[in-house]
Amino acid sequence: MKCKIICLLFFCYTFLTAQDCTSFAGTFDLTPVELCLSETALATFQNDQILDDDDLLQFVLHTSNTDELGTIIYTQNEPLLEFVSGLMEVETTYYLSAIVGNDEGGIVNLDDPCLSVSVGVPLTFLALPAARLMLDTSICAGTSLSIPIQLEGDGPFSFNWLQDGLLLDNFTVSGDTSILVAPEENTTFSISNLIGIDCPGVTIGVAQVTLDTVLTIEDLFIQCGDSTYVLGFNIFGESPNQLEINGWDGGLFGNSFVSSPIPIDTPYQLLVSNGGPCPATEVMGIDSCGCGILEGGLMAQNLISVCDNEIAKGQLLEAPTFDERYELYYILHNRPDAHLGQLLGFSMTNEFAFSDQLNYDSIFYISAVVGPFENGIPVLNSNCLLILEGTPIQFLEAPDIPLSLNAPFEICPDQTLTLDVEDNNDNIINYGFVFPNGDTLIQAEATLNIDSVSAINNGDYFAFVADNQCQSDALGPIAVDVLNCQAFILLGDQSLCEPNEVFLQAAPLSSNCEGIWRNDSGANIDQPHSPQIRVENLAIGENQFIWTVNQGTDCENSDTVIIRVSAPPVLADDFYDLPVGENRLRFRPYDNDALNGTIIDENSLQIQDNIDLGQAFFDEETGQIEYSISGLIEDQSRVSFTYTICNPVCLGSCDEALISIKLPNILVGIPEGFTPNYDGVNDLLNIRNIEAYPDNEVLIANRWGDIVYQVRNYTNERAWDGHYQGDVLPQGVYYVYIAIDGEEPISKSVHLIH
């Protein structure tokens, strides 16, 4: 081991130097790294390598993390992690190591006896996840389709679901999944922004969905003969294949169909299809030959859902035309077309209530019917019967569970009234409450806190429950009586300056109510049971007065007022020392002052302007004064300035005090770093206040102890510019030593940054 000795004026410093085979490849942060195939990254190298004069630092990716490198994948001059197709495999661990050895034409000599190899950073490249979406199908308009998605890789997976290139939804799944869709037109579904548990992925294919429509029948007519009739109608809708009509012979002319003769009183039933995915359209009925005027009419076809405690109403949009031998009435049945199915109810109006014949899982229909009546009963087997395609109705089960209300008959104004609805139905999601004034509150909890509404009222309360579809009948009433004792102080909070006395006023007491004033600061209260009081001997600071009223033993409430009392502040002088090597000092000068209720902020505390050798300001966030020195100290040993504190409550009463700061004998500041890059900013090593000590010596050394700069009588006008023997020194840490005659030497590290 060798040493170097450097002497400055009266002091010497010893530095260690390198010895044989001191090459050191440095160290990494050895946290294992996982990257996706498309990613690159830089390993975290600590830059603590040690190189001999002829050494070179490089980085190698290899297959072994023992003393042997194994197979070397690539060598680079920076610790870059990237996947090399053809040389590397996914899900396989490789290692990135730093190597230091003799520089052989820009390449580290691996046979260098002083070759140093660092411990390698484990690196694994992860396979990219994939989503397969390959479907080409057609569905009937108004129906839904489940589209399967096959996912490859490690989940969970998140992705965007697109319809015709537009974002429709976002999904997060753990594996293969399917998405239910109900498009309203021909559509292409696709996936974007696929991300697995570790990596972004790729998508393969799309789902093409085309729509087919149910055929509609229009312009249906019946031409009557002596013993037969002919049925005809027009067909409208998409026809990807040839139209097919089954059930009775006839001729198809374009989109028009005319049947062969059908015997009178023989019902007709035909199925019209187009070979697509939609179900065939059924044309059913019986001839109206000899029935006179009996035609037309239209009912709404949108599904109506009603709760079983409500009335279902069919919607007649257009009234049928008929002569005086017929009557219009309504039936509830289970046939989804213009034919009579199972009769479940009959009414002269369009309204039907839930009955035991119905259930909650089926769709029923309310149809308008025109036909003959006998003895007040419709003749349903008549050939002359017009049945309109009905309005679909679905009955929902309303909650019907045991309920109970629990509440006190009497409550105080500041108490909580609770109405508890007890039930065992897990489907209940909302609880409703009806107040005496008719207002309704619906919430997710079964307990009503009366203080959550605008006012407490005497009267009857009701409650009901609801699931996500229906509401139960209201339960109640329960009578509630609210007692009328209420505490209220008429005077708000105040700030006063040394008052002799204060008058406080509360609202007058109602009958059967009692009140009392309380105070914990020692003020004298005359007649504490009276709403109006006089208070003496208030203390400096906050004085809290509480007015409490009660009616009986369990009904009590209170109101509070705060009287803040202030007096003029009295300040004391303060003395501080500025530490050696510092140029800033923080302190709280008013800790030894008698503030007498004054609130310290930037409005009440002011600092003298034009302070010698620096400036001072008040930091309201920390409550401190900060003094910063500037300029040369020269012969001045102390800085003094004043501050003032005013109490605005006491008509701006103010007091002033002196702050005196003793300055150190020497104040030289070495910066943390500088950037000699010739941009005109921070290019030189400027040492603050060095001009105040012209008899100085400055020495600068690198981390190996080599002197790179040394001068006597250093000034900032000819400061060090980071060069040594005409060359710019490399970026790094350097050590500055300053010796001043008669003083302890100063030393500090400084960063040279390019």
pLDDT score of 12: 47
* Residues 660/608, Cβ–Cβ less than 8 Å: no
The reply to whether 553 falls in a domain is yes
**pLDDT > 70 in the chain, percent:** 89
Per-residue tokens: 280: 């065939």
Indicate which CATH number applies to the domain containing 434: 2.60.40
If asked whether residues 383 and 422 sit together in one domain, one would say: no
pLDDT score of 316: 94
The last residue of a domain, from among 662, 682, 710: 662
Residue range 540-564, pLDDT digits in tens:
888 899 998 887 656 777 889 998 8
The reply to whether 404 falls in a domain is no
Residue range 25-63, pLDDT digits in tens:
999 999 999 888 888 989 999 999 999 989 999 999 999
If asked whether residues 311 and 280 sit together in one domain, one would say: no
The reply to whether 487 falls in a domain is no
What's the pLDDT band for 598 if we cut at 50, 70, 90?
confident
The last residue of a domain, from among 506, 537, 566: 566
pTM of full prediction above 0.75:
no
Residues in the chain: 754
pLDDT score of 243: 85
pLDDT score of 97: 93
Residue range 465-521, pLDDT digits in tens:
888 888 888 777 777 766 667 788 888 888 888 888 888 988 888 777 888 999 877
Which of 256-270, 395-409, 677-691 bottoms out in mean pLDDT, i.e. has the lowest?
395-409
Between CA 578 and CA 364 the distance in angstroms is 93
Q: Which stretch of DSSP H or E encloses residue 374?
A: strand 373-374
On the question of pLDDT at 265 being above 80, the answer is: no
If asked whether residues 681 and 654 sit together in one domain, one would say: no
On the question of pLDDT at 726 being above 60, the answer is: yes
pLDDT score of 418: 64
If asked whether residues 200 and 232 sit together in one domain, one would say: no
If asked whether residues 391 and 298 sit together in one domain, one would say: yes
The reply to whether 554 falls in a domain is yes
Residue range 433-457, pLDDT digits in tens:
787 777 887 887 777 665 544 455 6
If asked whether residues 389 and 478 sit together in one domain, one would say: no
Instruction: Please list, residue by residue across 31-53, b when 16 or more beta carbons sit within 10 angstroms of its beta carbon and e when fewer do.
Output: eebebbeeeeeebebeeebebbe
**pLDDT > 90 in the chain, percent:** 38
- Nearest Cα to 546, choosing from 495, 487, 486, 497? 487
pLDDT score of 9: 45
Average confidence (pLDDT) over 567-571: 90
Between CA 310 and CA 394 the distance in angstroms is 12
The reply to whether 9 falls in a domain is no
Dihedral class, residue 264 (left if φ above 0, else alpha if ψ from -120 to 50, else beta): beta
The reply to whether 354 falls in a domain is yes
Q: Residue type for 99, please? A: I
pLDDT score of 169: 92
The reply to whether 619 falls in a domain is yes
Residue 727 half-sphere exposure, CB side, CA atoms within 13 Å?
Answer: 5
If asked whether residues 456 and 370 sit together in one domain, one would say: no
On the question of pLDDT at 4 being above 50, the answer is: no
Average confidence (pLDDT) over 292-305: 90
Average confidence (pLDDT) over 312-320: 94
The last residue of a domain, from among 549, 566, 583: 566
Number of domains forming the structure of the chain: 8
What's the pLDDT band for 226 if we cut at 50, 70, 90?
confident
Question: What's the mean pLDDT when you consider all of the chain?
Answer: 85
Residue range 287-296, pLDDT digits in tens:
767 777 888 9
Quote the domain boundaries for residue 463.
410-482
The angle formed by the CA atoms of residues 428, 432 and 434, to the nearest 5 degrees, is 160
The reply to whether 14 falls in a domain is no
What's the pLDDT band for 656 if we cut at 50, 70, 90?
very high
Burial (Cβ within 10 Å: 0-12, 13-18, ≥19) of residue 470 = buried
Between CA 288 and CA 285 the distance in angstroms is 9
pLDDT score of 158: 93
Average confidence (pLDDT) over 69-79: 92
The overall longest dimension of the chain from CA atoms, in Å, is: 141
Indicate which CATH number applies to the domain containing 545: 2.60.40.10
pLDDT score of 16: 39
On the question of pLDDT at 18 being above 50, the answer is: no
pLDDT score of 108: 93
If asked whether residues 301 and 392 sit together in one domain, one would say: yes
If asked whether residues 229 and 205 sit together in one domain, one would say: no
Residue range 236-254, pLDDT digits in tens:
886 656 788 999 999 988 8
What's the pLDDT band for 414 if we cut at 50, 70, 90?
low
pLDDT score of 8: 46
